[in-house]
Amino acid sequence: MAAPLASKAGTAGTTSKPPFPELDFRSGARVEELNKLIQEFTKHDQREYDDQRALEIHTAKDFIFSMLGMVQKLDQKLPVANEYLLLSGGVREGVVDIDLDELNVYARGTDYDMDFTLLVPALKLHDRNQPVTLDMRHSALCHSWLSLRLFDEGTISKWKDCCTIVDHINGATNYFFSPTKVADWFYDSISIVLSEIQKKPQRGMPKVEKVEKNGTIISIILGVGSSRMLYDIVPVVSFKGWPAVAQSWLMENHFWDGKITEEEVISGFYLVPACSYKGKKDNEWRLSFARSEVQLKKCISSSLMQAYQACKAIIIKLLSRPKAISPYHLRSMMLWACDRLPASYLAQEDYAAHFLLGLIDDLQHCLVNKMCPNYFIPQCNMLEHLSEETVMLHARKLSSVRSDPAEHLRTAIEHVKAANRLTLELQRRGSTTSIPSPQSDGGDANQPDDRLAKKLQQLVTENPGKSISVFINPDDVTRPHFRIDDKFF
């Protein structure tokens, strides 16, 4: 029997040759090299925050939440006791399924250092235990209109100026909550509040460097000390429970089964202000499962997440024109891969290169077949509206990545290193002193903030790998509450 090629013996007395290095068949790249490049990208992409940066992050959150409390008091439209969902990463990073073609281009390093998405409920339906049935008669799959008939007369009276009106033959009037009008109102209200705040600046208050309306998103860039933070604020409709249209998804087997409870996954969903390709922008909302995705992320291995982040960095640059593919498509493909592949395989720590190559293959497959099912509503094809010319253009671009993934990884590394250099340069030019909170007016008042920074650092050290955030009551921004995953401190 012939010995395998990789271990064929040489002349007598010599040792066997070492196993041949594992190669990617398509590109010839060494898998070990790709793994090292992904690790290097991760090192530069995921920066650790010292006490000063943690305090600046808190100060920005404090300011945004206080601002939203003032928006609520402006005309009482927003719920008094509201519940925001804060996501790490801006809308352009694919944290929610919103079209990117209406958004201005912002670059990390050039325009901001850290980015967040904040979902702010304009309306809440939180008193239902049964599956939520939405009015999808006029919409494409995964979209809905929202009639204010579901709400009381007081709510209708407050919001009727942000509705489109449909009169029926029987004389009844129906008010449909309009995503575009709500976004206009929200932008105007935020602008009024910021104008008032800036008339009476307080010591340590963040500098508002930019406020822009991007389609139905309000983007705010704050300067806090030596940091610039982008907040993409999204007005949404918040629901407790689960939509009837996604009920069948719960009947299938999923990768998260046994790791988190179904109650955690289906605790709520949103309508975000985005319409379908042929939908009516003034009336149509898009279903969003961002709350569920936060829970599912806990069940994804670190090596797969590293591959996803590296792949996302590549496609954001490569597939930016025309804007047809967003990072949210890639996120959906990753979730499908988690359902398709064995958990033991996806848990391999040194398989990040395999996962990166697989994600590129998956994306190219979806483009060639013009098919990318929504993870929660599989009957909704998120690429259905694209032209054959567009999908083939992007598929060819991805083919170039697949032929030389190492080179594209090196380019992504250089981009993130350049962004970090810009950030460091700004920090060198900026303030290095302690940043008091917006409520502070000097003296010993910044001592609580010193304790806050130490508390943040302690929580980070004691809870590696966990999601840590600060919850602030908009009516009492002086009392921060730390949340680690689902526990408050």
CB 373 within 8 A of CB 336: yes
Angle 417-421-427 from CA coordinates, rounded to 5°: 145
If pLDDT is split at 50, 70 and 90, which confidence band does 319 have?
confident
Residue 141 has pLDDT above 70, yes or no: yes
**For residue 455, with 0-12 CB atoms within 10 Å meaning exposed, 13-18 middle and 19 or more buried, which class applies?**
middle
pLDDT tens digits, 21-80: 899 898 899 999 999 999 999 999 987 667 788 889 999 999 999 999 999 999 999 998
152 compared with 18, residue with greater pLDDT: 152
Separation of alpha carbons 217 and 234, rounded Å: 5
More confident of the two residues 475 and 219: 219
Structure confidence at residue 17 as a pLDDT band (50, 70, 90): low
pLDDT value at residue 271? 96
Q: Provide the pLDDT for residue 6.
A: 42
Residues 290 and 270 sit within 8 Å (Cβ to Cβ): yes
pLDDT tens digits for range 332-358: 999 999 999 999 999 999 999 999 999
pLDDT at 3: 42
Percent of the chain predicted with pLDDT > 90: 62
Q: Which residue's entry shows tokens 């958004």?
A: 103
**In the chain, where the domains are located:** 31-426
Pair of tokens at residue 352? 């990040």
The pLDDT score that the predictor gives to residue 457 is: 54
ω into 322 cis (within 30 of 0) = yes
Let me know: does 178 contact 274? Beta carbons within 8 Å: no
More confident residue, 440 or 400: 400
Q: Which two tokens stand for residue 379?
A: 């009957």
**What is the reported pLDDT for 437?**
34
pLDDT for 272: 97
Work out whether strand 173-177 and strand 163-167 pair parallel, antiparallel, or are unpaired. Answer: antiparallel
| CA 420 – CA 45 distance, rounded (Å) | 9
Half-sphere exposure of 321 (CA within 13 A, CB side): 1
CATH of domain 31-426: 3.30.460.90
Show the tokens assigned to 128. Answer: 């239902």
Mean pLDDT of 215-234: 94
129 pLDDT higher than 80: no
